[in-house]
Structure 1
Amino acid sequence: MSNKVVLYIAMSLDGYIARKDGSVDWLFDVEGDGGDNGYAAFYQTIGTVVMGRTTYEDVLKLSEDFPYADRPTYVLSRSEQPPAPHVQFTTEPVESLIPHLQQASDADVWIVGGGQVVQAVMEKRLLHEIEVAIIPKILGEGIPLFPEGIVPSNLKMMGTQTLGQIISIRYQVQI
C-alpha cells in the first residue's frame, strides 16, 4: 500500500485550528505566496477525504459549493446521519475505515480535521504525514490541533516552505 494517510491543515502560531465557535475567519487575511499556497498541488495527490461531522458542518458554512465534491468524502459521526450530497456519513471506527479507504484508492487519504479525528487517527497509528501551515496569528483560545490526551508521537521533518508570511512544515510520523 503506497498511498499515505496525510493530515494537511493550517494552525495559528499558538496551535489552534479554529476559534472556539469553529470559525476560521482568521485564515483569510494572511499574506501567502499570492497563489493558493500549494493547495492545488497537494489536492492532486488526494484520492479520498475524511473529516469529522463538526468540521463538515463548518466547511458547509464557508462555501455554497462543497469543495471536495470531486473526491469520495467520508464524514465520521458517532450517530446515524441523514444522507447528504457529496458525502458518505459513517460510524465505522477509523481503524477499519482508513485501511479500507487506502486499499480502495490509488491516491492518498486526507484527514481534514478536526482535533478529535486527528486524535483518533494518531491513537490508532494510522497517520503517515503531517503538513502544517503555521499562520502568523495568536488566537489565545480555540480548538487545538492536538487535543489534550493525544498520543505522544515522534516526527521527522521532511521539508519546510515559506509562503509569504506562512511557514509550511512537512513531517513524517514515526510509527
Structure 2
Amino acid sequence: MMSNNKTVLYIAMSLDGYIARPDGSVDWLFDVEGDGGDNGYGEFYSTIGTVVMGRLTYEEVLKLSEDFPYADRPTYVLSRSKQAPAPHVQFTNEAVENLIPRLKQDSSGDIWIVGGGQVVQAVLQQQLLDEVEIAIIPKILGEGIPLFPTGTVPTHFRMIHKQTLGQIISIRYQVIGK
C-alpha cells in the first residue's frame, strides 16, 4: 500500500540563513513579534505522525523545556554514536535512505524533519524531502549553524504557500528535484 505521507522540513531561519547560534542555541527565536498565537505551529503539528531530528538538535530541544515537546509522537534521533536509552525517543544510526521511506509507510501522518543542518543535507542528498516550510525571522545572527551547510546538493523548489505572521514570513515550498 502506498502512503500519502510527506517528509517535511519545518524550521525557523534568520535572515542570513542560520538556524542556530554557533553553540546550537536558538534563544534568538523567542522575542520575535509573531501573529499573537503559535504562528501556525499547532496546525502544522497536527499533521505530523513521526518526528526525526539529529542528536545535536535533540540536545537543544531538551534545554528548551522540562517536558519533551514531542512525547506524543514517535521520535527518532539520528546519532552516529551509541546513546543511552532516553524516554520518548528512539536513537538510531540507520541511514536516512532506509529510515525515511520506512517511516513514511508506517507513520500515522507526515514525517517532520526538525533539523539540524546535517540531517537536512542528508535528506536532500537522498531526495527524501517533499516539502520545506521556512519561517524567516527578521534578525541577522552574523554566524551560526546554517540551514543549508556547504556541500548541500543543489535543489529546486516551487512555492506553494506564503503567509505573514506579524514580523515573520512563512514560506512553504514543494521540492521539485535537482
Match of 1:32 among 23, 28, 34: 34
Tell me what 1:80 maps to: 82
Tell me the amino acid that sits aligned with residue 150 of structure 1.
Answer: T
1:12 aligns with 2:17: no
Deviation of residue 159 (structure 1)?
1.1
1:59 aligns with 2:61: yes
Tell me what 2:102 maps to: 100
SS at match of 1:49: strand
SS at match of 1:174: strand
TM-score (norm 1): 0.99
User: Cα RMSD over matched residues?
Assistant: 0.5
Rounded to whole Å, the distance in 2 between the matches of 1:3 and 1:92 is 20
Rounded to whole Å, the distance in 1 between the matches of 2:50 and 2:153 is 24
Rounded to whole Å, the distance in 1 between the matches of 2:164 and 2:66 is 30
Between the two proteins, the alignment pairs up a number of residues equal to 175
Quick one: percent identity of the two aligned structures? Answer: 78
Tell me what 1:168 maps to: 170
SS at match of 1:86: coil
* Aligned partners of 2:50 and 2:108 also within 8 Å: no
Report which stretch shifted further, 97-106 or 86-95: 97-106
Rounded to whole Å, the distance in 2 between the matches of 1:91 and 1:152 is 25
Tell me what 1:157 maps to: 159
Tell me the amino acid that sits aligned with residue 116 of structure 1.
Answer: Q
* Aligned partners of 2:118 and 2:149 also within 8 Å: yes
The 5 Å alignment of 1:74-153 reads 74-153=76-155
Q: Runs of 4+ in structure 1 displaced over 6 angstroms? A: none
Deviation of residue 97 (structure 1)?
0.3
Rounded to whole Å, the distance in 1 between the matches of 2:108 and 2:21 is 35
1:46 aligns with 2:60: no
Deviation of residue 106 (structure 1)?
2.9
TM-score (norm 2): 0.97
Unaligned 5+ segments in structure 1 are none
Deviation of residue 27 (structure 1)?
0.3
SS at match of 1:157: strand
